[in-house]
Amino acid sequence: MTQTLRIALAGLGTVGAGVIRLLEANGALISARAGRPIAITAVCARDRSKDRGVDLSPFAWEDDMTVLATREDVDVVVELVGGSDGPALALARRTLAAGKGLVTANKAMIAHHGMELAAAAEQAGVPLRFEAAVAGGIPAIKGLAEGAAANSCRGIYGILNGTCNYILSRMEASGADFADMLREAQELGYAEADPAFDIEGTDAAHKLAILAAIGFGTRIDFAAVDAQGITAIRAADIAQAAALGHVIRLVGRADMAEAADGTRKLFQRVAPCLVPHGHPLASVDGPTNAVVVEGDFVGRLLFEGAGAGDGPTASAVVADLIDIARGARLPPFSLPVAALADAGPADPGDRRNRAYLRFVVADRPGVLAQITAAMRDAGVSIESLIQQGQAEEGGEVLVAMVTHEAPERAVAQAMTLLEGSPDIAEPPLVMRLLD
Ligand SMILES: NC(=O)c1ccc[n+]([C@@H]2O[C@H](COP(=O)([O-])OP(=O)(O)OC[C@H]3O[C@@H](n4cnc5c(N)ncnc54)[C@H](OP(=O)(O)O)[C@@H]3O)[C@@H](O)[C@H]2O)c1
């Protein structure tokens, strides 16, 4: 196999330019490992005149990226444009229909359309790979689908969004509030101008849905991910978590839970959690990502590294290309699409955990008694209760507590009992403890 693997790059932004630089810098090593040269033949972006810090003169330029899918001198299209639908999806569909391989870093597209695209790739007998879509440079998909292939997966969890992790670890180090650290993250390029996808948990949910499908052999069910973000977390919560020996991290978790009728359902959640000091996720700071895979025979595997950035993401894209050049033919989700189960979402109500609850309440007598009565009526016992700071006359105070282990259904019931109380100023913050 000495024939060159000819690729087309759609998108020449952070990742696209990174792929060009990586292929240039390590071309000889990559060819040797791939068993044949990997060469870019054509590229496409919106603005041809933009200086991207890379030499584009050796490559053909296309103004319409869907044309890349039908060029005769292209074997694999690398989609680095982004967006769940629109031009990226049109290109992906056309590429697979034309019988060419597809490599993408686009988690949104795979989370929404992964099943359709995997079926199209299968039908065409071509590879579809998306290592860079989950946790940037970390070989999380490879680790799960190949390294842990012999295991029944017990659980997958991790820190899947570098922007949130940067903000939370900076809040911890500086004592500053969320809004200030979001601004800092934006100034440093760790957060987008429109950070909603990151800070509301959607980006991590995309990645979790992809990992869950591979790990549990289920069809992707992005709509069923319970995604919560980090916008409600205050400096006081970080301080309280620290006093309890914990840090706060946005954690994505997926596992299979047994339902009352004995069937196995898929649990998927992204939410801020209290992680105890000493847990491997507690020391994951800054924009770093970490993925934990629990296998029945291998035990706990931890993959940690850069979850974004041009170099790390390009590294994952090119690793996929090397696999394709070598002739690897793994089903995109580890199993053929027809063999993936339609598990349906698990009811989280039966899950038992300790919870951190934080209320913003009016500084009036009887408010604490109201909260503790709701907890008692719902059958949730309180392990520790902290009233933080005295408010101004008629102002608000924060009340935080940690519950003993209780079913989530009971905690939710307590929150329902308190709904509409004129003494509670904003929706309570509920965070589980990762014990
Ligand atoms: N950045 C990361 O660290 C990272 C990490 C993991 C995964 N990803 C994923 O990788 C993908 C690319 O991300 P990125 O950060 O490289 O994005 P980016 O810097 O915004 O680059 C996007 C590129 O797509 C081009 N483009 C957009 N719409 C187009 C259209 N209609 N026709 C042709 N070209 C078009 C843009 O052209 P112009 O340059 O001419 O505007 C640009 O070159 C996304 O799916 C993202 O989620 C990124």
* Residue range 206-227, pLDDT digits in tens: 999 999 999 999 999 999 999 9
Segment 18-74, tens digit of pLDDT: 999 999 999 999 999 999 999 999 999 999 999 999 999 999 999 999 999 999 999
Tokens for 365?
A: 């007598």
Name the strand (E) or helix (H) holding 181.
helix 178-187
Q: How far is the CA of 103 from the centre of ligand 1 (A)?
A: 14
Nearest alpha carbon, ligand 1 atom 10: 105
Segment 395-419, tens digit of pLDDT: 889 999 999 999 999 999 999 999 9
- Among 3-7, 25-29, 139-143, 425-429, the range scoring the smallest mean pLDDT is 425-429
Asked if 430 and 357 count as a contact pair (C-beta separation under 8 A), the reply is yes
Q: How far is the CA of 95 from the centre of ligand 1 (A)?
A: 18
Q: Best substitution site from 64, 80, 110, 117 to test ligand 1's pocket, by max atoms within 8 Å of Cβ? A: 80
For residue 39, the Cα-to-chain-centroid distance in whole angstroms is 30
Segment 361-386, tens digit of pLDDT: 998 889 999 999 999 999 999 999 88
Angle at 236 between CA 186 and CA 350, to 5 degrees: 95
First vs last C-alpha separation in the chain? 51
Nearest alpha carbon, ligand 1 atom 20: 13
Nearest alpha carbon, ligand 1 atom 15: 14
Question: What pLDDT does 326 receive?
Answer: 97
Residues known to be catalytic = 207
**Alpha carbon distance 206, 308 (integer Å):** 15
Q: Is 54 left (phi over 0), alpha (psi -120 to 50) or beta?
A: beta
Asked if 128 and 332 count as a contact pair (C-beta separation under 8 A), the reply is yes
Q: Is 309 left (phi over 0), alpha (psi -120 to 50) or beta?
A: left
Q: How far is the CA of 118 from the centre of ligand 1 (A)?
A: 22
- Phi and psi of 345, rounded to 5°? -80, 145
**Alpha carbon distance 275, 294 (integer Å):** 17
Residues with CB under 6 A from ligand 1: 11-16, 44-47, 50, 65, 80-82, 87, 105-107, 132, 136, 308-309, 313
Q: Best substitution site from 9, 15, 110 to test ligand 1's pocket, by max atoms within 8 Å of Cβ? A: 15
Which ligand 1 atom is nearest residue 133's CA? 7
Q: How far is the CA of 286 from the centre of ligand 1 (A)?
A: 23
- What three-state secondary structure class fits 65? helix
- The single residue listed with the structure tokens 């899947």 is 160
Nearest CA among 143, 264, 162 for reference residue 214? 143
Q: How far is the CA of 167 from the centre of ligand 1 (A)?
A: 23
Asked if 290 and 266 count as a contact pair (C-beta separation under 8 A), the reply is no
Question: What pLDDT does 395 receive?
Answer: 81
What is the mean predicted confidence (pLDDT) over 108-118?
98
> What value does the mean pLDDT of the chain take?
95
Largest CA distance in the chain: 80
What is the mean predicted confidence (pLDDT) over 115-139?
97
Given a cut of 70, whether residue 96 has pLDDT beyond it is: yes
Q: Best substitution site from 313, 317, 318, 320 to test ligand 1's pocket, by max atoms within 8 Å of Cβ? A: 313
Residue 177 CB-density burial (10 A; 0-12 exposed, 13-18 middle, 19+ buried): middle
Tokens for 340?
A: 């993936």
What is the mean predicted confidence (pLDDT) over 266-289?
96
